[in-house]
Structure formats: C-alpha cells, structure tokens
C-alpha cells in the first residue's frame, strides 16, 4: 500500500492520553514567539532563497540588480508575446480560409488540395501548410523525392535565422537536411 493510503499515525494508544499537557493552541493565531522568531527566520530564508534564484546561484549583487532592472519591462514582454501569438493566429486564419495561396517566392498561386489538407505546387511537386499546432507556428513542406525518403516522416521546415532546411527524421526528431539532396529547387513562404 502506498504511503499516501496509510494512516497518518502508526501508533494507536488505547488509554487516550493527552500529549499536549493541557495546552491547546489555536492554529489560526500567531503568538509572540511566532512573530519575533519564526516569522523573521522565514522571511530571511525566503529572501536568501529568492536572491539565490534571481542570481542563478552565483549570489552576485550585480546580477541581482540586473534582474531587478528588467522587472518593469516584464509586462511589455508579456504583451509582446501575446500580440505575437495573436499575429501568428491571424496569419494562419488568413491562409486557412483560402482556396489558393499566393507564394511570393514562386510568383504564383498554389491551390488547396482537399485530399491532403494542404496547398500544392505542381511545378516543384511540393505540398505545404501552415502548422499552428506547434509551439512556434510555421510553414511545413513535403517535397516529393526528398520527404518521401523519410517514410511517414519527412516534413521539412525552413529556419530563416540559420538559413537552413530541417527535415523530420523520426517522430519529433529533426535534422539538418543532408547535403546529398539538391536544394536548388527548394523554396519557402516568405
């Protein structure tokens, strides 16, 4: 039986002794000892613990001050993050309702393929869709002749910061597209 299912007491005293010697303390009230000793100790522990956390364990005063200076920026950071997410959602919704999508890098529109639930470019034999189910919403591509080499996986993503193609090798495992594949015909939504 797990400890959580066991009784909180393993000793049952049959003579019902009172181990408190007649002193009964109201658990909702603080006495002088609590206020003068326990509370300051608790506040010091929390203070040192907080200082340890915000300095990343270094306990350097400069690092703590650096962190504290960023606190006024925190609400704007949250607002920027929320706005970014809303912008990505609007971008997705704009593409989700279209029967065709104009791809600037191709200079043409691609039609929605109902069978595969994504857009399709016949010239490059590429299926693509805007994936909003991931943490960072992104366009994903399936290039026949490349992606199909990876079986059920093989969806590709373009990393604009690294300027590199990634391909899903296994479930949730992404690698840089191997050099053996010709990148000259690959394109991505801008």
What's the pLDDT at 9? 35
Q: Angle of helix 39-54 relative to helix 61-70, nearest 10 degrees?
A: 80
Same domain, 113 and 48: no
Look at residue 185 and tell me if it is in a domain: no
What's the pLDDT at 27? 65
Kindly tell me if the per-residue pLDDT of 180 is higher than 70: yes
Instruction: Kindly state the tokens that stand for 106.
Output: 């191709």
Same domain, 133 and 73: no
- The percent of residues in the chain predicted with pLDDT above 70, rounded, is 81
pLDDT digits (tens, 9 = 90+) for 51-89: 777 777 777 778 777 777 777 776 777 777 777 778 777
125 with 110: CB under 8 angstroms? no
Look at residue 130 and tell me if it is in a domain: yes
pLDDT digits (tens, 9 = 90+) for 115-156: 888 999 999 999 999 888 877 788 999 999 999 999 888 999
Which of 46, 66, 97 is at the close of a domain? 97
Query: Rounded mean pLDDT of 21-42?
Result: 72
Name the pTM for this structure. Answer: 0.52
Pairwise pLDDT comparison (59 vs 16), residue with the higher score: 59
What's the pLDDT at 16? 47
Residue 42, φ and ψ in degrees, nearest 5: -60, -45
What's the pLDDT at 106? 93
> What is the total count of domains within the chain?
2
What is the C-alpha to C-alpha distance for residues 177 and 155, in angstroms, rounded to an integer? 11
> Which domain does 135 fall in, by range?
100-176
């Amino acid at each position: 039986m797990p400890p959580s299912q066991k009784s909180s007491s393993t000793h049952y005293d049959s003579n019902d002794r009172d181990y408190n010697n007649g002193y009964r303390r109201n658990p909702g009230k603080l006495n002088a000892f609590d206020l003068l000793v326990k509370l300051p100790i608790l506040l010091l522990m929390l203070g040192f613990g907080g200082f340890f956390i915000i300095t990343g364990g270094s306990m350097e005063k400069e690092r703590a001050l650096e962190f504290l200076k960023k606190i006024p920026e925190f609400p704007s950071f949250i607002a920027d993050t929320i706005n970014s997410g809303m912008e990505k959602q609007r971008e997705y919704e704009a593409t989700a309702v279209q029967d065709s999508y104009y791809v600037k890098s191709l200079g043409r529109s691609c039609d929605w393929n109902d069978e595969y639930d994504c857009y399709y470019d016949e010239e490059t034999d590429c299926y693509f869709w805007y994936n909003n189910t991931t943490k960072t919403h992104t366009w994903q591509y399936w290039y026949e002749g490349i992606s199909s080499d990876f079986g059920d996986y093989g969806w590709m993503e373009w990393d604009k910061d690294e300027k590199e193609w990634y391909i899903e090798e296994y479930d949730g495992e992404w690698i840089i597209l191997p050099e053996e594949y010709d990148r000259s015909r690959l394109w991505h939504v801008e």
